[in-house]
Amino acid sequence: MTKISSSIMILRKVPASAWTKDLDDKMNQWLVQYVNWLENNSLAAEEKASTKSASPLVSPLIYIDLIRR
């Protein structure tokens, strides 16, 4: 997710002609669905409840937040 978010932010800043508003909107829609899956999927719930290590779900959510700003 780190590389994806960095790439999207670069495409927005340049601005890249291939990175259209339509593509950006679709990416945001996909991110909403992905966050919903991360927050509601049974595997994600098990991972959140695990006390073995820090949740690997936190990092993607941070980068998704950066993209969606």
pTM exceeding 0.85? no
pLDDT score at 19: 92
pLDDT score at 14: 92
CB-based contact 19:12 (threshold 8 Å): yes
Contacts of 38 (CB under 8 A, 6+ apart): 44, 57, 60, 61
CA distance 4 to 11: 11
Per-residue pLDDT of the chain (69 residues; tens, 9 = 90+): 778 888 888 998 898 999 999 999 999 898 888 888 877 888 777 777 766 655 556 667 767 776 776
